[in-house]
Structure 1
């Protein structure tokens, strides 16, 4: 599946062939991406990225999380998609990361807006949330720009390393809210 965000940005459903480019960006930008993304430290070789993608694609189609690669002017820019989807309660979370060279162009904001609408209209969800580490101001600005409601802080919500945890700012949008 492919979603055209605008004339510059295309979302493509993640596939196994994406592993080399994804791993290459992670490997080249360890310090930058690793500041806020716990998975970077455990992604030591391309095999780790292959296994991540395989774990997504092995799920039955109706249960699989929809994860997309972000392509900006035909260049890989990052990943955006749904995680921790709860179909019974019709809710999910949008997660994302973006390569350093593509920051401050509004790319993730546009992608998250499209996925929010997709969640409500195509997936039949009632609630979408975005969680951002306290202190990760650029990431926090995305749900704020999109009119998500700040609900509070999930204390020690994300494990980062052996004995470190990030507090997470939790934002949500309901189907009845405007995207």
Structure 2
């Protein structure tokens, strides 16, 4: 198990881990327990049908990470996987990437995702040399929108009928954060 970052919140130890197939069972159990809530916001939920499908996804992500297309971390609280956070759509030539995240309802509201995202941002700006980080959130997902707002992201756009999920079109909001310290901003 490779620990990328670790921090404490209250009495809980939070670890950001590189994804490994042995996390598949715990991650699938979280998806299964939170399926109805996750389905509202995450189109991939219905494709996660078993521990095996989660393990296949992790193996796929490992390949994407080696290729430099994705940087994903498993979020573990007290050594139990409870969610994931990632950079995807990594664009090396324009120096930007998008962030995605999800977290078990059992540990929401503790600041875990905000602090996890803060560490991902630091890594993106300082190690990956990103100039800009983007987050796209479905317009009605106020909990998820609050996270980038807390960290200084600016709402840049709202896209009408952008996502088709669960039989309907939905709007999404895009937030952006620019690395002011890199000297490449206008």
TM-score scaled to structure 2, two decimals? 0.88
Corresponding residue for residue 113 of structure 2? 108
Are 1:40 and 2:40 an aligned pair? no
Match for residue 58 of structure 2 among 29, 53, 64: 53
Greater Cα offset, 93-102 or 33-42: 33-42
Is the Cα contact below 8 Å between 1:78 and 1:96 reproduced in 2?
Answer: yes
1:5-56 Cα distance to aligned partner (Å, 9 max, x none): 4132110011111111111111122112112111112212223212211211
Q: CA deviation at 1:64?
A: 4.0
Match for residue 154 of structure 1 among 156, 159, 167: 159
SS at match of 2:28: helix
Corresponding residue for residue 69 of structure 1? 74
Q: CA deviation at 1:154?
A: 2.2
CA distance in 2, matches of 1:107, 1:147: 17
Q: CA deviation at 1:74?
A: 1.9
Aligned residues: 177
CA distance in 2, matches of 1:128, 1:60: 18
CA distance in 1, matches of 2:16, 2:161: 31
- Alpha-carbon distance change, 150 to 60 in structure 1, aligned in 2, over 3 angstroms: closer
Matching of residues 105-144 of structure 1 within 5 Å: 105-144=110-149
CA distance in 2, matches of 1:174, 1:25: 33
Unaligned residue ranges in structure 2 (runs of 5+):
182-186
Is the Cα contact below 8 Å between 2:75 and 2:83 reproduced in 1?
Answer: yes
Aligned alpha-carbon RMSD (Å): 1.8
Match for residue 167 of structure 1 among 156, 163, 171: 171
CA distance in 1, matches of 2:126, 2:105: 31
